[in-house]
Structure 1
């Protein structure tokens, strides 16, 4: 957490430094007359670098080169004399400050992602379970689909998402980092419960929305519903949380995994169990 505070402080200092530096003047003449497009680019860099995950999963050299190219493109297409100084020293200073902003925001994004990963590891260490990330499980999903199509066997998918019965309390919980840690622990506990409720032949997956997807080979629509009910009961007993679930079947209702997933998510939003179960999405692929 110390590294997070330090990185955040440096980014705030960077933005304030640029704004203050541009306001310094002598005899109503700016000491350093930055171009208008420089201010816009420098301010936009920080949120984009932080909130676009793909930018901080690669080497910092790539975004630094990209934003440097953006700066030179703006330099070429704008009439700089109308917005700022044309001195070479000022242009070089702008480029240096711009690249410094990219580096600082990149470091902050990495620290934030590392903090989230640390909390996930702590949660999973407290409530151990085996779940693949959705992107990592795509090869297995494709293999199961191919096998089901080849041999005309049924296939099912179950998606589980937990939430507090008191929605207002849930919103309050998400307002602080401490509550966020509790949410991650709760999610890990749910993953453990789902892992215990499914069969050995089922594949437990966690999607990017925090829902647990169970890929069930040799299972038809009715079997998926029965499995979802059993998962819901186990999760309710272990956590006291509530569940909804929806179903979709292959090939009667959809022909691809993504379409089945979307259909089941839509159905789970409109379904509401009356016996205190967790929100569950069920998808079947035949």
Structure 2
């Protein structure tokens, strides 16, 4: 059986060209780190940088706006102040870019004004038929493509056969460090952040379809649509094992989850039943999550 993947997500997992908004020549800025990771990842497609200041960065031109960026470009990465994101997405939509990662924070996870900005981003994306990952995320890594759209300090993860999908960017960073220390390789890493648009269920088939991925591991703070998750995960678990760590099982954990995603952790019995119906293996700790993945 071949997994049915969503073609609208293809630019996230196999982009033809990438434009980074917020690239910086200052080595102390996240915009420099993200630019460095894109270039040093070995990604073979086009990489373009945009910053109103212009100049050069990593021996590449920095364009002052999107209109000067040459084709091909089908994935935008935004590392900008939150208030600039809606207009930047509109410019991307007008250019025909249909996928964007909003790495910046300052949205729903902060306050009501941030929530309005996040909704404006989603409205703009829907206007242009664009898919969004984030905001408030660290992006994607594919060690075999290869591609690294994160701003994390190097070195990145070692190539392997375990995919990691997480609501929490901080956990992604910790997992990369831990995996390198353990000699444990990753095939893909997907940081979803606030999930204004693309959620954990959306990416399951695309991640599982990767021939380099043997097992999927999920770090979940909640599930956007339980019935849909069960349906999609059940398709995937027929092909490859899926192991999930659902955090927020206890009162203290539920408070932490609410502060990060703005969502309630949900009923534990409902999650238990959903995982069982979908054939998802439930881990109780991060150590157990990766013990199952190595089995």
Flag whether TM exceeds 0.5 (same fold): no
More helix by share: 1
Q: Which has the higher contact order (CA 8 A, sep 6+)?
A: 1
Tell me the TM-score normalised to structure 1 length. Answer: 0.25
TM-score scaled by length of structure 2: 0.25
Q: Which has the higher strand share?
A: 2
Which structure: larger Rg?
A: 1
